[in-house]
Amino acid sequence: MCGKGFNVIKALKNCFICLFLFTSCTDKELRVGEVAIIPKPQEQVKGEGYFEIGANTKIAVENEEQIKIVDRILTQLNKLSGWKPTVSISNKGDITFITDSTLSAEAYELNVMKEKIEVKAASGSGFFYAMESMKQLFPVEFYGKSLNKPITWGIPVVYIKDRPKFEWRGYMLDVSRHFFDVEEVKEVIDFMAESKLNRFHWHLTDDQGWRLEIKSYPKLTEVGAWRVDYNVADETISNWFGRPEQKQGEKPTYGGFYTQENIKEIIAYAKDRYIEVMPEIDMPGHSQAIVASYPEIGCVNAAQTVATGGVVRNNTLNPGKEETYEFAEKMLNEVMDLFPFEYVHIGGDECNKEQWQVDPDAQQKISSEGLKNEAELQSYFIKRMEKIINARGRKMVGWDEIHEGGLAPNATVMSWRGELGGISAVKSGHEVIMTPSNFCYIDLKQGHDDLEPNLGYSELLLSTSYNYKVIPDSLTVEEAKLIKGTQANMWTESISDWGKLTYMTFPRLFAIAENAWTEHSEKDWDDFSERLLKQFERMDAKNIRYAVSAFSPWIDHEGNGENIKISLKTEVNGLDIRYTLDGTSPTKESLKYEGAFIIDKSKEVKARAFKKDKPVGYISNLKFPVHLAAGAKVLGHSDDKTQELIKLTDLNYGRLKQEDPSWQYLPNNAEVDIFLDSITAIGELKFEALRYTISGIYAPTEVEVLGSIDDLKYFPLGKMNMAEAGIQGRNKVEYRVPLLKNKVKSIKIKVKTPSPIPKGHHLSGSSSAIAIDEIIIN
């Protein structure tokens, strides 16, 4: 009896253990997604509860195209969970696709209920965009590569009725300045699709590389696709207009190109995602790679090699030679054989016409065609390109410079130098794609210059991009119909790898996608900022590098020669900013920023933003010296002129931006006197100089420091030479001059940099200038 009872208890215990183990292994954590879709749908009504999608879910579609569309979600589910819902062509399912011809071409309805999901659209693109919205309703784990534990997938109840605002919703990728391989281009197309963009503008040619196989002209890739490798990976260095030119005997090793089979593969890949691909062949300027390959269609003084970095002259095709037009016709026809999309972009921007002024063939063409000047010669060239393109039933697109000398009859204008070119083209009856650089160039910096990677030559904040109104107020309702849409432009002069590309793309691509998709009146910055946090989680799951600049504190300051007022802010509203002054990293317990504060001693300011006690953005960190010469009188001497230079001791420090008012501009050979209040012991002199050589601003190559106790007789204190200051680029250069320990009443600083600017530099032959923000004496 006792033995039997023991065995029963043992058996029950074993059963309990098995049951516990079974329950633990099969128990799934419920995860329900959030309604945080970008771009924002036109109509959206949230409900209560969720639809559970699992292995037994049945999906009913109408045709093979819809199977292909839904399979992208199912493939990801299968990778994560090991199962796929059943898909069949029928009219009964838990998720049902229904064609509704009353909807517009790219519109859709997505109705998520607790028991079922209905998807309606008039076309494949509509169903595709419905699925892209549905993907964003999945919990964030859906975007990862694996799951830590099994989960139950919940789709929140919501009704969405949606359609795009604009027909043209684009992203331009420049692959001439940096070559991205086939798989990377496909990734670009994928994140375009996720943002409901539908036009991939492929900038395939420029001075720095030709990237498309043309069988009629094999040298375009044999020669034009390769340059000497002076690429820079360091994100603190910006020297696009400062890279050495190819020297005799140097072998071009950097570059690459797409074969015609690659092109077909990428076009098909894009087509599966309802994206059209528009090639850009940049002419007649930006053509150094072409001329290096076929010098016979260049002008006098043409550069003979593919450019290693930025160039602005001697890089044009010759519009005076008929051989140029024969080349263009054969080449463009081969391009159009590859690209089925109706639009072909021929560039037409930034054409330096200096060569044409001295080229005999160009001048002969002006004379023989009865043209007035080189601007009309450019127009003549563009109009002949349009005839070649129109002859194939295609439409020509060009940057707004194609307006110069007269616009081609049927051209579509891409307005990038602000909006005026686009407005003018619309009023002339032409189609326009609005993509002004101050709203749409996502290669520009997106935060405080001294806190961001040194990429891009100017600034475009996320909020600026988001708040862009695509249709100018000056247009009538009828004129506005000629605005086809907008696009993001990724120029890659400073984008030398994939991580830089994604950092500069995200999150501004989301802002531009919403501009292109959503009615302007329905946009809301605060709402967008909130939805953006969910996108960040999704990108974290996909291991994509992105910028959090809009959530990161700006540290602004205002010096008065005695102390410094510090102000903190973020682009995104409603965040708490915490800060420290002792060099430690801010936490949620650190001082909360309540308003501007004063520092009268040297401090390191660190700040971070928090949302509901959770850190967002990066830690911003800047140092503010308060030094012995603060507020001292400063006189500058040059060319027998003397002036007071209060900027050099007012405790205002310049950002990496030539427009910053804190920079004191000096001639290339200048002398500065600082007068202290009393005889003072000093041991070091420091300052930062701005290098911005594209504008002729060079850091000093020589610095000499002298001291005096009577403001009359000066003795040497220290000296330094910095030969590398004479190189080209865009950054700040720090100078630290150890001084002989002396007591002084006044200090004389002599700074010098080479002038005229050396041969081979961007502004060779011009006078250089120096910019210094604050002379720090310790």
Tokens of 30: 């419920």
Q: Where are the alpha helices (DSSP H) in 518-661?
A: 525-541
Residue 286 annotated as catalytic: yes
Cα-Cα-Cα-Cα torsion 126, 131, 134, 135, nearest 10 degrees, comes to -140
Q: Which H/E stretch holds residue 119?
A: strand 117-121
With beta carbons less than 8 A apart as the criterion, state whether 605 and 579 touch.
yes
CB burial readout 228-260, b (16+ within 10 A) else e: beeebeebeebbbbbbeebeeeeebebbebbee
* 642: exposed, middle or buried (Cβ count in 10 Å: 0-12, 13-18, 19+): exposed
Closest CA to 726 of 700, 696, 689: 700
**350 vs 210: CA distance, rounded Å:** 18
**409 cis-preceded (ω within 30 degrees of 0):** no
C-alpha triplet 229, 234, 237: angle, nearest 5°: 90
**652 vs 661: CA distance, rounded Å:** 9
Residue 206 annotated as catalytic: yes
Q: Please tell me the total number of residues recorded for the chain in this structure.
A: 778
Tokens 């569309």 — which residue? 69
Q: Which residues lie closer than 8 Å to 137 by C-beta, 6 or more apart?
A: 33, 34, 35, 37, 112, 155, 156, 158
**507 cis-preceded (ω within 30 degrees of 0):** yes
Cα-Cα-Cα-Cα torsion 211, 213, 218, 219, nearest 10 degrees, comes to 0
Catalytic residue chosen out of the listed positions 286, 403, 448, 762: 286
Closest CA to 502 of 532, 463, 542, 530: 542
The terminus-to-terminus CA distance of the chain in angstroms comes to: 95
Q: Which residues lie closer than 8 Å to 18 by C-beta, 6 or more apart?
A: none
DSSP notation for 674-738: EEEEEEEEEEEEEEEEEEEGGGTB---SEEEEEEESSSSS-EEEEEEE-GGGGS--EEEEEEEEE
Tokens of 71: 């399979």
3-state SS, residue 307: coil
**390 vs 438: CA distance, rounded Å:** 32
Catalytic residue chosen out of the listed positions 109, 141, 194, 206: 206
How many helices (H) and strands (E) would you count in the chain?
18, 36
Beta strands 614-624 and 603-611 are antiparallel
Closest CA to 338 of 257, 403, 416, 419: 257
With beta carbons less than 8 A apart as the criterion, state whether 398 and 425 touch.
no
User: What's the sign of the alpha-carbon dihedral 599, 648, 629, 668?
Assistant: positive
Closest CA to 652 of 636, 642, 666, 664: 664
Tokens 């012995």 — which residue? 628
**546 vs 539: CA distance, rounded Å:** 8
Distances (CA, A) of 732 to 450, 454, 629, 726: 9, 10, 22, 13
Catalytic residue chosen out of the listed positions 43, 100, 326, 350: 350
**478 vs 482: CA distance, rounded Å:** 8
Closest CA to 440 of 532, 516, 551: 516
Tokens of 285: 């300027």
Amino acid at 78: N
Residues with catalytic annotation? 206, 286, 350
